[in-house]
Chains A and B, each alone.
Chain A
């Protein structure tokens, strides 16, 4: 790649939020990245905590003891919400990346109707699916298995 000259003007992480016309899909994009990063962080933590089992039962009990309490319940709940969104939106993305739901190429006539408008129903379905998963998770966390520590 050519080395660019001049004053650097890349937006950075701020560009995940602003810089365009603030469409709904941009929020989904940002949330998808953030939840993705969150899930990776949780995954690493999970490996770290459970790997204590390799050092014998005492280490395992001690390690599990460190991750109990209301803070971790809320944390796990957030991880579940992140999963619900990331999974539903990921399905939408996989769909779209196979070229479904974005419409065929056609002669553009102003005011332009773009692939973003065509796939909007998919985005809404993905959000509904995420909400459904989240509701089931909420029920499980706070009603059905209330107070049960894993």
Chain B
């Protein structure tokens, strides 16, 4: 569709006010269109011109904070990351992310997802508590080891994958792609030693075995995290672990400061550490 002559677009917004409404309903607003407008920009105009009480979450408006996940013309996407012209229509239907309860208008209740995320220990787990509390240096990690988890670490917890997942659509127990991909992100980090702790959740019915690779999570993910891949690789790890074939590794050791080497000329000293 050619957007060169488009001056106005129609927003259909799914609205719900918990104090007044018994169920969500659609409302329509017409707003002026300017080239380069994102779906999020349009929402601000709707709020300014027609619906001052309209509620949604957004913050960074550049696809980094993960606040503005919403259902845009049937697809879970980031409002700030979606140009109106790429929708190929002048009607923009915006609803809250499905598979989460609606708090108000476009605001989903992400807490169940974040709570599961928390239970899967999304941080480096190690036994050397002393070093973890009072770090004396960096842990050693090769670029190849970094590659094992880097892709999954780009997740911004927007919840789009959860809204697209057909298993999440019928199964409130399933952890869902976001928390599972993050569990795998830490399981596959060479500095981490928390697999046995996370396994307690992952082995059960909340774990990855409810995923049958519909792949929707990976298709909608705005950051290219590919949670479906993380989940399948996690299944492989669980199977290997079950048959006692999982590679036992010691979590990465501390990197030693190289001794007996001189700084090359022209390379400045590192700034003093800001945290002690």
Q: Is B122 an interface residue (CB 8 A)?
A: no
A57 at the interface (CB under 8 A from B): no
Check A20/B219 contact, CB under 8 A, given A7-B101, A10-B98, A114-B224.
yes
Cβ contact within 8 Å between A5 and B216: no
B175's nearest neighbour on chain A, judged by CB, is A1
Q: Given known contacts A98-B236, A102-B232, A116-B219, is B151 in contact with A107 (CB within 8 Å)?
A: yes
Of B39-47, B161-169, B192-200, which binds chain A? B161-169
Instruction: Give the chain B neighbours of A16 by CB distance below 8 A.
Output: 166, 169-170
How many B residues, CB 8 Å from partner?
A: 60
B28 located at the interface, meaning its Cβ lies under 8 Å from any Cβ of chain A in the complex: no
B170 contacts A107, C-beta separation under 8 Å: no
Known: A2-B115, A9-B96, A112-B224. A19 touches B216 (CB 8 A): yes
- Contact indicator per residue, chain A 98-119, by CB within 8 Å of chain B (1) or not (0): 1100111111111010111001
Residues in B neighbouring A10, C-beta threshold 8 A: 98-99, 168-170, 172
A99 and B236 within 8 A (CB):
yes
Residue of A nearest to B115 (CB): A2
Q: Give B225-242 interface residues, CB cut-off 8 Å to A.
A: 225-226, 228-230, 232-233, 235-236, 239
Chain B residues whose CB sits within 8 angstroms of the CB of A106 once the complex forms: 147, 151
CA distance A116 to B170 in the complex (A): 22
A93 near B: Cβ within 8 Å? Answer: yes
Residues of A within 8 A of B16 (CB): 7
Q: Check if B92 is an interface residue, CB within 8 A of chain A.
A: no
**A28-36, A62-70, A127-135: which lies at the B interface?**
A28-36
Report the bound CA distance from A102 to B230 in whole Å. 9
Q: Report A20-58 CB contacts with B as 1/0, cut-off 8 Å.
A: 110101101110110000000000000000000000000
Query: Nearest-CB distance from B147 to chain A (Å)?
Result: 6
Q: Given A105-B149, A114-B224, does the pair A4, B112 have CB atoms closer than 8 Å?
A: yes
**Are B226 and A29 neighbours in the complex by a CB distance under 8 Å?**
no
Instruction: Give residues of chain B (89-130) contacting chain A, Cβ–Cβ below 8 Å.
Output: 96-104, 108-109, 111-112, 115-116
Instruction: Say yes or no: B214 contacts A15, CB within 8 Å.
Output: no
A26-B214, A32-B212, A108-B225 are known contacts. Are A11 and B109 too (CB-CB below 8 A)?
no
Taking Cβ atoms with an 8 Å cutoff, the residues of B that contact A are 16, 18, 23-24, 74-76, 96-104, 108-109, 111-112, 115-116, 147-152, 154, 163-166, 168-170, 172-173, 188, 212-216, 218-221, 223-226, 228-230, 232-233, 235-236, 239
- Return the 9 tightest CB-CB contacts between A and B, nearest first: A15-B169, A108-B224, A99-B236, A6-B101, A115-B229, A112-B224, A116-B215, A29-B214, A20-B164
Listed in ascending order, the chain A residues whose CB lies under 8 Å from chain B are 1-2, 4-21, 23, 25-26, 28-30, 32-33, 93, 96-99, 102-110, 112, 114-116, 119
